[in-house]
Structure 1
Amino acid sequence: MTKLKEHVLVTGGAGFIGSHSVELLLQQGFTVRVLDNLSNGHLDNLPLHPRLEFMRGDIRHSDDVKAAMQGVSHCLHLAAQVSVNSSVEDPVSSATHNILGALNVMHEAAQAQVTKLVYASSAAVYGDSDQLPLQEDCASQPLSPYGLEKWVDERYATLLQSLHGLPSMGLRYFNVYGPRQDPRSPYAGVIARFLDRLLDRQEPIIFGDGLQSRDFVYVGDIARANVTALLSPRCGVCNVTTGKSISLLELLEHLRHLTKCHLPARHMPAKAEDIRHSCGDAQRLFEWLAFEPQWSLQQGLVELIKHQRQSDVARVTAMPINA
C-alpha cells in the first residue's frame, strides 16, 4: 500500500458517510483530522488510529473551521443537515447548516489554499425530472429546501474557484445506504427504516403507493468515490450513482426475502417533497474519475443485514441484567 503525505480534514467525519470515508483514507495512508459536533455522529464510529485526530467543533462557527483547516492539504466536507423533512419543517436552521456552514468551510479552505475540496451535494438538486437517467447538465428544480441548499453550495463552490482559485468537486450522491445509518434517526434512508421494522417483525411503512423508484448506492462505494475525487484534478459536479433504479415495492420484496419477514406494508399519504423517480447517469463518474460502483444492491443488502444483526446481538449482550 502506497503511503501518502496528504493531510485530510473531514467535516462530519464521525457520521454515517464520514466514518466510512475516514476508514478508507486511513487504510490508504492519509493523515486525517475529523471536525464534528457529534449532533448526529458518534465517536464509536471512528477507529483508534495514530494518524487520526478528532476535533469537536461546528461548521457554523468560523473559528472552529479555521482551526481545523490549519495544516491540511485536502478537505472532504460532509457535515450537514441531511433530512429533507427537517429542511421543510425548519428551513432557516437547515440553511444555516447547509449554506452558511458550507460557505464557512469553502471560505477557510480557500484561505488555507488546500489542494482540493470535495463536498457532498445531492441528487435532490434535480427535483422531479422526467429526463432519466439524470445527467449533470439537467435542469435543477429542487422540491425541498434541502435540495435548494445543495444547489446553492454548488454555485458558491464555482464562484470561489473563480474568485480564489479553490479547486473543488461536488458529488451528487443518490440514495446512500449501509452500516451505521441510524434507522430511528430522522436522517435515515428508506432501506434503514424498512430493515429496522422487518427485523423487529413490524409492518414496514411506505409513504405513497410504493411505485416511486430510487437509485441506491452502497456507502462503501460512496467512500471510494470521495477518496478518488480528492486525488483527481477534475473540478465541477459529478453524480455518484449506480445508474440503476428500483421501486420501493420491489426493494421491500428483496428485504422481506432476506429477513424472512413477509408482513404487509402500511401505506401512508405521500409527501409533497418526495421525488417520484430518481436514477442517475454514471457516464461522467466513469470518464472523470474512472470509477464504477463495486457493490450490487443484493450484496449491499446482505452486508447491511449481517451488520445490523451483529449490532443487535452486541447491544443485547451489553445490556445490564436486573437482579
Structure 2
Amino acid sequence: MSKVLVTGGAGFIGSNLVDKLVAAGDQVTVVDDLSMGLITNLSKNRQVSFYQKSITNHDFMKKLLLQENFDYIYLLAAVASVADSIARPYETHQINQEANIYILEVIRKYHLRIKKLLFSSSAAIYGSNPELPKNENSTVDPLTPYAIDKFSTERFVIDFGKLYGIPTVAVRFFNVYGPRQNPKSPYSGVLSLISQAILHHSAFTLFGSGEQTRDFVFIEDVVQALLLLTKKSDLKYEVFNVGSGKHVSLLQVIKVYEKISGFKLKTNIRDERQGDIKHSYADITKLLAVGYKPKYSISSGLKLYWESLQN
C-alpha cells in the first residue's frame, strides 16, 4: 500500500486515476477546489481523503505534505483554460506554476523521501510549430500564459528534481477524452461538446472545415501511462508525450460518433478561429519504449464514452 497525493483529483483525469489507485489498495489524498472537478467523481471510500482546498493555500499544503509523507505525488491541478489564462494571467500563474513550485520547495526543504512526483504538462507548449508528429525534442513555442506556465513548470520539475535528488517526471497530454469529462467547462474538450450536442439533439458549432486533426487519447490509456511512469518504472527526470500516436479529423470523429449513437449531428459552420492549430499529433515512440500500449481506437473509446453518458 502506498500513500498518494493527487492534486486536482476530483477532475476528469484525476478522478479516473484515483479509481485505479484505490483499486490497487493505495491510500489516496485528493486536494481539489472544485472549480472544475466534481465531488461526485470520487467514490465514497475509506481509502480516499478529500480536501476542498486550493493548492495555492501554502500553509495547508505544507502541513499536509509534512503530516502525510506521501510516496507518490501527481500534480494535476490547473486552470486548464487558455482563454482564462489570457484574461487572468497572474491569477492562473499562481495555480499553474507558483503552487507547484512551492510543493517542490517543501519536499526539498524538509527532505521528504518521495518515490516519484509527476507533473502534468500539455501539448499546448508546442504552439504553432508545424513539425509533425510532435516529439519531446520538437521546438516548443508556448503562445499563451497557460502554455508558458506549463512549459516552465515542466522544466522546473525536471531540473529542480535533478538538482535536489527528487525523483520527478513530466507528461504532455494531447487531447484526452472519456467518462467524467465536464461538458459545463468553458474549455471542455471538443469531444465532450460533440457528445452533449448529440445527447441533447442540439447544434454543434464547427469552426473551419472540420479537416483539422487532433490526437485523441482515451482516458484509460492516459491513466495507464501515468501509472507506468510512476509506480511501474524507475524513470526520472524525463518528459513524455501522452497520446494515441494517431491523428483523426473532426469530420471523421463526427462520422464515427453518429454511427455509434445512431443520431445525426446538427452543425453550425463558422469561420476558423484565428490562432487555432490546424494539425497536431504525438510521436509516442519514447513512451512505447517503456512499455506503454494504447488499447483504445477512436471507435472503441467513443463507444465507451457514449455508453457512460447513457448512464
Measured against the shorter chain, the TM-score band is over 0.9
Q: Is the 8 A contact 1:59 1:104 kept in 2?
A: no
Aligned equivalent of 2:188 = 188
Q: Is the 8 A contact 2:253 2:298 kept in 1?
A: no
Distance 2:271 2:63 in 1: 46
- Displaced runs of 4 or more, over 6 A: none
TM-score by length of 1: 0.90
SS in 2 for 1:211: coil
1:30-59: CA deviations, max 9, x gaps?
Answer: 211111112211211111222221122211
How far the C-alpha of 1:105 sits from its partner, in A, is 2.5
Identity of aligned residues (%): 33
Aligned equivalent of 2:130 = 130
Aligned equivalent of 1:42 = 38
Aligned equivalent of 1:98 = 96
Distance 2:24 2:164 in 1: 30
Q: How does 1:224-263 map to 2 (within 5 A)?
A: 224-231=224-231, 232-235=233-236, 236-263=238-265
Aligned equivalent of 1:14 = 10
Aligned equivalent of 2:208 = 208
SS in 2 for 1:141: coil
Q: Is the 8 A contact 1:215 1:241 kept in 2?
A: yes
Letter of the aligned partner of 2:303 in structure 1?
V
Distance 1:41 1:162 in 2: 32
How far the C-alpha of 1:270 sits from its partner, in A, is 2.8
Letter of the aligned partner of 1:271 in structure 2?
R
1:31 aligns with 2:27: yes
Aligned equivalent of 2:301 = 300
TM-score by length of 2: 0.93
SS in 2 for 1:10: strand
Aligned equivalent of 1:82 = 80
Q: Is the 8 A contact 1:60 1:96 kept in 2?
A: yes
Aligned equivalent of 1:197 = 197
How far the C-alpha of 1:291 sits from its partner, in A, is 0.8
Q: Is the 8 A contact 2:8 2:31 kept in 1?
A: yes
SS in 1 for 2:246: coil
Aligned equivalent of 1:313 = none
- Identify if the C-alpha distance between structure 1 residues 108 and 187 changes in structure 2 by more than 3 Å, giving closer, same or farther: farther
> What RMSD over aligned residues (CA atoms) do the two structures have, in Å?
1.5
Distance 2:307 2:175 in 1: 20
Distance 2:90 2:244 in 1: 33
1:264-289: CA deviations, max 9, x gaps?
Answer: 421233333432211101111011x3
SS in 2 for 1:204: strand
1:106-146: CA deviations, max 9, x gaps?
Answer: 22343423121011111111112222111100110123222
- Identify if the C-alpha distance between structure 1 residues 109 and 175 changes in structure 2 by more than 3 Å, giving closer, same or farther: farther
- Specify every segment of 5 or more residues in structure 2 that has no aligned partner in the other structure, as ranges: none
How far the C-alpha of 1:83 sits from its partner, in A, is 1.4
Q: How does 1:51-200 map to 2 (within 5 A)?
A: 51-69=47-65, 70-110=68-108, 111=110, 112-200=112-200
SS in 1 for 2:172: strand
Q: Is the 8 A contact 1:128 1:277 kept in 2?
A: no
Q: Is the 8 A contact 2:201 2:266 kept in 1?
A: no
Q: Is the 8 A contact 2:69 2:113 kept in 1?
A: no
Letter of the aligned partner of 1:298 in structure 2?
S
Aligned equivalent of 1:283 = 285
Most deviating of 106-115 and 42-51: 106-115
How far the C-alpha of 1:208 sits from its partner, in A, is 2.3
Distance 2:200 2:249 in 1: 23
